[in-house]
């Protein structure tokens, strides 16, 4: 959305919008800008949400896991969560074979790990964070 369009919606001038955005960036409210990718357009047909529980509480096991998820390009998002599992991964990959390989890598790299995976069949809503200016 352009500064001009935001200005029209908020009754502000384009320079005023630009100044406010600049201030929000300086304050760390706006952390950055991203492109929203169409996974299928880049040959990523499989979306899987994988819940992880590390049964070993050794720091070394946790660090191996954290390093592994940072290094794996098909893990698009990772969260520390509450509940029966500790982590939630969003894995976006090209095939079930690729997914199986990623999950095997995670399981083999860490002793005593419990996983629960769900594959997305269809997307009902995907919306970026957008502020309502009305």
Q: Is position 133 within any domain?
A: no
Q: What is the DSSP string of the chain?
A: --HHHHHHHHT--HHHHHHHHHHHHHTTSS--------GGGGT--EEEEEEEEES---HHHHHHHHHHHHH-TTEEEEEE--SS-SEEEEEEES-HHHHHHHHHHHHHHSSSEEEEEEE-S--S----------
Q: Is position 101 within any domain?
A: yes
Q: Is position 131 within any domain?
A: no
Q: Is position 106 within any domain?
A: yes
pLDDT of the chain, 134 residues: tens digit per residue: 788 988 888 888 999 999 999 999 999 888 888 777 777 788 789 999 999 999 877 788 889 899 999 999 999 999 999 999 999 999 999 999 999 999 999 888 777 789 999 999 998 988 776 665 55
Instruction: Mark whether 21 and 58 lie in a shared domain.
Output: no
Residue 49 structural domain: 38-118
Instruction: Mark whether 21 and 48 lie in a shared domain.
Output: no
Instruction: Mark whether 47 and 25 lie in a shared domain.
Output: no
How many domains are contained in the chain? 2
Instruction: Mark whether 21 and 71 lie in a shared domain.
Output: no
């Amino acid at each position: 959305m352009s500064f001009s369009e935001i200005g029209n919606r908020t009754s502000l001038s384009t320079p005023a919008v630009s100044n406010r955005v600049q201030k929000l960036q300086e304050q760390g409210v706006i952390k950055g800008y991203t492109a929203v990718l169409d996974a299928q357009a880049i040959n990523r047909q499989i979306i899987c949400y994988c819940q992880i529980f590390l049964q070993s509480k050794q720091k070394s096991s946790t660090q191996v896991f954290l390093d592994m998820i940072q290094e794996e390009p098909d893990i698009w998002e990772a969260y520390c969560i509450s509940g029966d599992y500790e982590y939630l991964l969003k894995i976006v990959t090209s095939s079930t074979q690729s997914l199986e390989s990623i999950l095997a890598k995670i399981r083999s790299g860490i002793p005593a790990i419990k996983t629960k995976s769900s594959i997305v069949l269809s997307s009902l809503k995907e919306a970026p964070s957008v502020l309502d200016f009305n």
